[in-house]
Homo-oligomer: A and B are copies of this chain.
């Protein structure tokens, strides 16, 4: 072929201009940075006309910083939603046609201080609250209403938070790494602070305030003592200055041994007067720089961290010493109940209850004990922690994990609202039927003075904040539930999709369907029927065979207990009797293997491989069915996503579509790993209708080992 002919031929297939190079340098796709605060232009002309009637001005009566944030947000939002710049004024007298903020200091409504009302009055939209913070939350609620293009005819919204401390926990280390973070590096740039204040801190604060989150713990619970140095307190203060404008208090995790390592004292014994004085002075030093400092979060005598037990003292001794230091201030002490001692004969399930229940009533009123939703550690499914309901004299906060430590990192789509709701809606029966975990946590059951909901953050410096675009929904869901735990998973999903991805109804339905099923799908290929913790190493790849650890509960086999007879952890009276930590009504749900709901079966029972289950299948058949249909359901997720394609931004579409491909591949990996491993015990073929794995167990183990290498 001559060169001339080649050129001719080529000209036939190569015409026009190729598309511009991909990548943000030249493209303008949605990179996810704006989260659910995109304020896309209102397209419904009737609705737009309604809204425009109230855009003569924004009435901000006083100068407070938080009110200013609310005004600015409203101005930004209205500009984007309606294309109109609305002026902010404090001299609006009896003008109408605007949006007006009204602080009702004297109002004796049932509203909590942070609650708000939005209604039409005097020809204005009036956002009222007892506090500036309430106005800010009301403003975000109004903007959410408008983003959803809902009518404002007869507008009347009133809402109050059910929980007082609504908090993110960042497991961020001072070197910028994030423990269990899958969305890049820490947002907090300690080496640049205090002089340089990254503009992103403000966007972080806005996003949280839009959900009603009012606290943030900046550093990892495996804490560095350096945060207690003057050098770092000043850095923290610079972050707190930004948070304050959005009604968010700043908290720190503390290293219990800091009096020794940082203070140079001979001990960190909480009953030692020098130690007590050191903490008092330290807290005073912090309040000097951060007058609205939130308090301390403490992980003590847990997974090797120091604590009061190092000196023969109790968790209450440790917590109360810190609480004493906070007495002159508003701050609180949040003490984690995530503890489990190394004991070859113990059931880790029971550890937190055993250590904490005897301390009920011994904690200072400034202490809240923070309890993980389940008894082990953020598994894809856990029964609720038996601590809930069993410490009536001690405010118990709940700790959820938003970051996907055990939920496939940033490559598996798992919508977590159903996990949070499952715990909150669980009935402890401690004061009879209806004594849900939610009522424990919101204080209505035991009359706690202080109530708390905490979420371990999934944020990082990735452009889209959370790595997986759909993981933004988990941050959103946590925040919304911390404000109102009665919202449904579906409602939150619909809201988030409309604000963030698409207002198209049909597309929205496909995406919310995907989201709402995603957790069960993940559980099916990962830990069905009550399996748990098939990881050690990096918490990523399947390792159900892992049987070496420095302590028995740091192996995988400890949790599933597979043997030639069957599978599962007997926690009935014939086993560890962990079930006895629950009320009889709960025990009845779970103590009979024939009646235990399948999602919890292997949490509480060692079940024979050939045992017939309520589905009519044997345990082995049911397991295989879950592994196979779970992995195949990822294909269904891909289909749902593709059905929404034409109503999605191309960049967001591609990002999620590619991650779903990874999820599909990894789901097959999980399926094959489990099936082949459990088959060595069950000694049965893969049930008819499913194709046996093509890889051998050894090949899979080798592929997993790759992820365990340095």
Which A residues form the contact surface with B (CB < 8 A)? 6-7, 10-11, 14, 16-27, 33-34, 37, 61-63, 68-69, 71-73, 75-76, 85, 87-88, 90-91, 175-177, 182, 184-185, 191-192, 195-197, 199-203, 206, 224-226, 229, 231-232, 255, 261-262, 409-411, 460-463, 538, 540, 651, 655, 658-659, 661-662, 665, 703, 706-707, 709-710
B-side contacts of A463, CB under 8 Å: 463
With A27-B199, A231-B706, A709-B262 as given contacts, are A87 and B21 in contact (CB-CB < 8 Å)? no
B-side contacts of A76, CB under 8 Å: 20-21, 25-26
B-side contacts of A18, CB under 8 Å: 68, 71-72, 88
Q: Is the CB of A261 within 8 A of B192?
A: no
List 6 additional A-B contacts (Cβ < 8 Å) besides A21-B72, A197-B658: A21-B73, A23-B200, A184-B184, A195-B665, A226-B709, A229-B706
Top 9 nearest A-B pairs by Cβ distance?
Answer: A196-B658, A195-B661, A23-B203, A23-B199, A23-B202, A17-B88, A229-B706, A185-B185, A25-B203
A615 to chain B, nearest CB (A): 33
Contact residue among B90, B200, B201, B224 (Cβ-Cβ distance under 8 Å from A710)? B224
B-side contacts of A662, CB under 8 Å: 191-192, 195-196
Q: Is the CB of B661 within 8 A of A62?
A: no
Residue of B nearest to A91 (CB): B11
B-side contacts of A196, CB under 8 Å: 411, 655, 658-659, 661-662
A249 to chain B, nearest CB (A): 20
- Residue from A27, A72, A655, A706 having most chain B Cβ neighbours under 10 A: A706
Q: How far is the CA of A88 from the CA of B18 in the complex (A)?
A: 8
B-side contacts of A226, CB under 8 Å: 706-707, 709
A68 to chain B, nearest CB (A): 6
Contact residue among B68, B91, B185, B409 (Cβ-Cβ distance under 8 Å from A184)? B185
A499 to chain B, nearest CB (A): 14
With A7-B62, A206-B25, A709-B261 as given contacts, are A703 and B231 in contact (CB-CB < 8 Å)? yes
Q: How far is the CA of A33 from the CA of B34 in the complex (A)?
A: 17
With A18-B71, A185-B184 as given contacts, are A10 and B709 in contact (CB-CB < 8 Å)? no
Residue of B nearest to A199 (CB): B23
Q: Is the CB of B24 within 8 A of A200?
A: yes
Q: Is the CB of A411 within 8 A of B192?
A: yes
Contact residue among B11, B37, B191, B462 (Cβ-Cβ distance under 8 Å from A410)? B191
Q: Is the CB of A540 within 8 A of B191?
A: yes
Q: Is the CB of B14 within 8 A of A63?
A: yes
Q: How many copies of the polypeptide does the oligomer hold? A: 2
A230 to chain B, nearest CB (A): 8
Q: Is the CB of B11 within 8 A of A706?
A: no
Q: Is the CB of B21 within 8 A of A25?
A: no
With A14-B90, A17-B75 as given contacts, are A24 and B661 in contact (CB-CB < 8 Å)? no
Residue of B nearest to A62 (CB): B10
B-side contacts of A17, CB under 8 Å: 71, 75, 85, 87-88
Residue of B nearest to A660 (CB): B195
A258 to chain B, nearest CB (A): 9
A405 to chain B, nearest CB (A): 13
Residue of B nearest to A258 (CB): B709
B-side contacts of A460, CB under 8 Å: 185
A99 to chain B, nearest CB (A): 13
Residue of B nearest to A176 (CB): B184
Q: Is the CB of A24 within 8 A of B20?
A: no
Q: Is the CB of A72 within 8 A of B191?
A: no
B-side contacts of A202, CB under 8 Å: 21-23
B-side contacts of A410, CB under 8 Å: 191-192
B-side contacts of A409, CB under 8 Å: 191
- Residue from A175, A191, A262 having most chain B Cβ neighbours under 10 A: A191
Q: Is the CB of A90 within 8 A of B7?
A: yes
Q: How far is the CA of A180 from the CA of B19 in the complex (A)?
A: 37
A272 to chain B, nearest CB (A): 22
Q: Is the CB of A192 within 8 A of B709?
A: no
Listed by A's residue number, 26 A-B pairs whose Cβ atoms lie within 8 Å are A6-B62, A17-B75, A17-B87, A17-B88, A18-B72, A20-B76, A21-B69, A21-B73, A21-B202, A23-B201, A23-B206, A24-B203, A27-B199, A182-B191, A184-B461, A191-B662, A192-B658, A192-B662, A197-B658, A224-B709, A225-B709, A226-B706, A226-B707, A226-B709, A231-B706, A463-B463
A176 to chain B, nearest CB (A): 8
- Residue from A23, A261, A707 having most chain B Cβ neighbours under 10 A: A23
Q: Is the CB of B25 within 8 A of A33?
A: yes
- Residue from A19, A21, A88, A226 having most chain B Cβ neighbours under 10 A: A21
Q: How far is the CA of A564 from the CA of B533 in the complex (A)?
A: 61
Q: How far is the CA of A34 from the CA of B11 in the complex (A)?
A: 33
Q: How far is the CA of A639 from the CA of B326 in the complex (A)?
A: 44
- Residue from A25, A201, A460 having most chain B Cβ neighbours under 10 A: A25
Residue of B nearest to A87 (CB): B17
Q: Is the CB of B24 within 8 A of A199?
A: yes
With A62-B7, A703-B231 as given contacts, are A22 and B199 in contact (CB-CB < 8 Å)? yes
Q: How far is the CA of A175 from the CA of B706 in the complex (A)?
A: 12
Q: How far is the CA of A307 from the CA of B327 in the complex (A)?
A: 60
Q: How far is the CA of A410 from the CA of B193 in the complex (A)?
A: 12
A306 to chain B, nearest CB (A): 11
A27 to chain B, nearest CB (A): 7
Q: Is the CB of A195 within 8 A of B658?
A: yes
Q: How far is the CA of A661 from the CA of B85 in the complex (A)?
A: 36
Q: How far is the CA of A91 from the CA of B12 in the complex (A)?
A: 10
Q: How far is the CA of A177 from the CA of B261 in the complex (A)?
A: 27
B-side contacts of A232, CB under 8 Å: 706
With A177-B177, A184-B184 as given contacts, are A411 and B191 in contact (CB-CB < 8 Å)? yes
- Residue from A37, A68, A411 having most chain B Cβ neighbours under 10 A: A411
